[in-house]
Structures are given as structure tokens and as C-alpha cells.
Amino acid sequence: MKGGNVKRIAFIGLGNMGLPMSRHLVAGGFEVIGFDLSKDACAAAAASGAAIAGSAAEAAGQADVVITMLPTGQDVRAAYLGVSGLIEASRPGALLMDSSTISSTVTVEVAAAARAAGRRMIDAPVSGGTPRAHSGTLTFMVGGEPEDLADARPLLEAMGAKIFHVGASGAGHTAKLCNNMLSGICMVGTVEALALGVANGLDPAILSDIMRNSSGTNYALERYHPYPGLMENVPSANGFAGGFRSDFQLKDMRLAKELANDSKTMAALGDLACEIFAMHCRNGFAALDYSSVIKMAMAVPDAPETAPAPKTAAAPAASPAE
Ligand code: NAD
């Protein structure tokens, strides 16, 4: 199987990200055989032109490329390894690609098992969130052999706008965790600065403008404002619905923290921000967008006062963290 010859793709995990990604593959002329544990997800993929298999193994057995977009590393490990796992079920020589956000340790383990069984594997986590999954403009961070990336490139181009080859197997997931640790820290720092100003009598809109034009500027201030009513088409303008769940942000920050521990790297702010997201999730906000962490630092209006809701519920604003 070489790049241009990819015809059939098994797509396992048709959730918030996997479903729109699979739609772009169908639109790009690939034959997609999908599977998800959720019947609703399968029905939505079928309505978009994918064939649906009775199991992940059945889908993999018919495909040139197997893509997984699953919640956690445990899910990915369980899906690939073992009897009737995706490695065993896939065709000899098949290219396996995991786009979930997971630990690079799991990636390296699964990729080694794949190689031992005569399969090839790349990690290709994504950034851009559901909006860019819907628009087919995701950023891919790829770990693995250059020739395997070359084979995957037509698929990645159907789903994404930017493709980075980061390095060997696991490097894609390492880059993804570095980014999400930083964006979590930036979000917490931003809400603390806003809370400090407001507690001392400043208008959050004026303060935001000042910081955007000063050395404190960052993505949260510029394109993902956490204070309701100050920016259109972001989750804070929509009751923090959509976007990137706080418990997913916590998952990624915990993985980054593990990586920092393993590599004996300083991650003091990463650790603190991780703990803040853990508290935020324990306080009942796990399903809200991660910018809702502003509720930890200050009281904010429940509903936006000046900003309209996002244009579509299905495609909320892009998160830098995702
Ligand atoms: P999701 O929960 O919406 O979708 C996951 C899907 O996987 C669900 O439909 C679930 O039924 C299915 N599933 C779970 N185990 C399965 C199995 N064994 N076999 C088949 N299907 C199975 O999650 P999502 O938002 O699509 O995120 C998926 C991954 O992508 C996560 O690792 C997440 O961190 C990462 N990610 C998410 C975003 C985002 O904005 N949502 C952005 C970038 C990366």
C-alpha cells in the first residue's frame, strides 16, 4: 500500500472529532468504513456516506489504513492490542494511525507491537478542535517514519491544513502535550490577571485591551476570551458550551505532568495549572469548555451581555489547546 493507492479507511471513534474528520475523508473520495461503540455516532457517520462495520476488527480487516480517534490512552491500548485488536485484525502491511491525544509511552508500546506484527504505525494527534475538524483545517503533529507519513499525507490533507513531522514514533503526542500544557497555563494566568484587575475596580474590557497591547498578550486574550460578553463566537459567549471540555484539558495536563516527571523536567507552572483544572472539574465543571476555569478565579456573568452566541452549535470556536 503506497500513498496514492489508499482506497479504504477504517475509522474507529466517530465522536466530536472523529465524525467530522471521517466526513472529510468521504468528501475526499476515500471509502470509509466506520465503527463506534455508540449507535448514534454510527448512524451519523452512515448518514454522511460511511459504511458501518459490526466491530472495529471487522472495519480494520477491510482497510488499507486504520485511524483511531478515541478518548484515552487506555482506550487506544485496548483497541489495538490483544486478540481481535486492531493490530491482529488489520491486513499485513496496513498503516495504523492514532489521532487521539494520549501519552507517547502508550504510542511507542502500541507502535512497537504493530511493527512486530508486520504493520506500520504513526501517531498524528490534532490541534484546532471541533471547528477545524468541521472545516477540514486541522493541524497534524506526526510521529513516525517519513515514508509512512508520505503514505498518510493524502488523508491528512483531506482533513487538515497543516502537517508537521515532529520526529520518531511518539514525538507527535509529545508535541501535543507540550502545547496543551502551555495553553492551560496561559488560560489560568489570563483569568488570574482579569480577576486581579476587576477586584481592584478595573473594567475587564479595558484591561483586556491593555493586556492585548502589552507584554501579557496571549491566545486566550486575542482569540479565546474567557470573560463572558467580551468576544463573539467563543465558548464564554455561549455559557461555556462546546469547545474543549475541561476534563479533556485535565487529562492532557496530567499526561504532560507525567512526561515532565519521567524526564525530570521542571514543570512547576504546569503542575499548578493541572491542579487548578482538577479542582475545577471536581467543582462540577468537567463538561464545560476549559475557559470556564475563570469561574475559579472570579464571579462572571452567567449569560453574555454584549456578545452574541456562536454562529453554530456544531462548530464552536477553535481552541488553541486542542
Ligand atoms: P468523544 O468522546 O466525542 O469521541 C470519542 C468516541 O470514541 C465516542 O463516540 C465513543 O463512543 C468512541 N469510542 C470509545 N471507545 C471506543 C472503542 N473501543 N471502539 C469504538 N469507539 C469507541 O471525544 P472527541 O472529542 O472526539 O476526542 C477524541 C480524542 O481527540 C481525545 O483523545 C481528545 O483529547 C482528542 N481531541 C479532542 C479535541 C476536541 O476539541 N474535542 C481536540 C483535539 C483532540
- The per-residue pLDDT for range 257-295, each reduced to its tens digit, is 999 999 999 999 999 999 999 999 999 999 999 999 999
pLDDT value at position 22?
98
Interval 187-210: pLDDT, tens: 999 999 999 999 999 999 999 999
Distance, in Å, from the CA atom of 192 to the CA atom of 189, rounded to the nearest integer, reads: 5
Domain boundary among 168, 196, 227: 168
Q: What is the pTM of this model?
A: 0.89
254 touches ligand 1 (CB under 6 Å): no
Interval 46-67: pLDDT, tens: 999 999 999 999 999 999 999 9
Establish whether 39 is a catalytic residue: no
Distance, in Å, from the CA atom of 108 to the CA atom of 99, rounded to the nearest integer, reads: 14
In this structure, are 41 and 153 located in the same domain?
yes
131 touches ligand 1 (CB under 6 Å): no
What CATH number does the domain containing 221 carry?
A: 1.10.1040.10
Position 143 pLDDT exceeds 90: yes
User: From atom 1 of ligand 1, which residue's Cα is the shortest distance away?
Assistant: 15
Distance, in Å, from the CA atom of 21 to the CA atom of 18, rounded to the nearest integer, reads: 5
98 touches ligand 1 (CB under 6 Å): no
Q: Is residue 69 assigned to a domain?
A: yes
In this structure, are 26 and 152 located in the same domain?
yes
Distance, in Å, from the CA atom of 285 to the CA atom of 53, rounded to the nearest integer, reads: 35
Distance, in Å, from the CA atom of 93 to the CA atom of 300, rounded to the nearest integer, reads: 54
pLDDT value at position 48?
96
| Number of domains forming the structure of the chain | 2
Phi, psi of 47 (to 5 degrees): -65, -20
Domain boundaries, position 18:
3-168
Q: Is residue 312 assigned to a domain?
A: no
Q: Where are the alpha helices (DSSP H) in 90-203?
A: 104-116, 129-135, 146-159, 171-199
| Ligand 1 nearest-atom number relative to CA 12 | 20
Options 176, 251, 264, 311, the catalytic residue? 176
